[in-house]
Structure 1
Amino acid sequence: MAEHSTEERNGHLRSEVKLSAGEKVALCRCFGSGDFPFCDGTHKTLKSSVGPVIVS
């Protein structure tokens, strides 16, 4: 499972995610996820064209 930490720096959130070899995750770009920084699909309920970024 990916390890992560999120901190605020100069008024901006900064997340660091560490993946294991072969691991794939979807990262939230709408900032609405209840599982931030991971995508939980919340963007689908927002009036936005932003979706997750897939990292592998």
Structure 2
Amino acid sequence: MKNYFFCYDKRLRDFLRYEKNIDYICEGRHLKTGMIFTLFERTEFLNQAIQEWKNR
């Protein structure tokens, strides 16, 4: 699972998709919590984008 990033934050998801143009694998709902997530493949570019988001 370390090759994937489960994103539960809608604002972060939109940042990754629309500002960084990172494609996602799928969207789904966590079976236990019911929360919606977006699944991204973890790459160095994705890691840098997440770090940029955290530094805002």
TM over 0.5: no
TM-score for both structures, normalised by structure 1: 0.23
Q: Greater share of strand residues, 1 or 2?
A: 1
TM-score for both structures, normalised by structure 2: 0.23
Q: Greater share of helix residues, 1 or 2?
A: 2
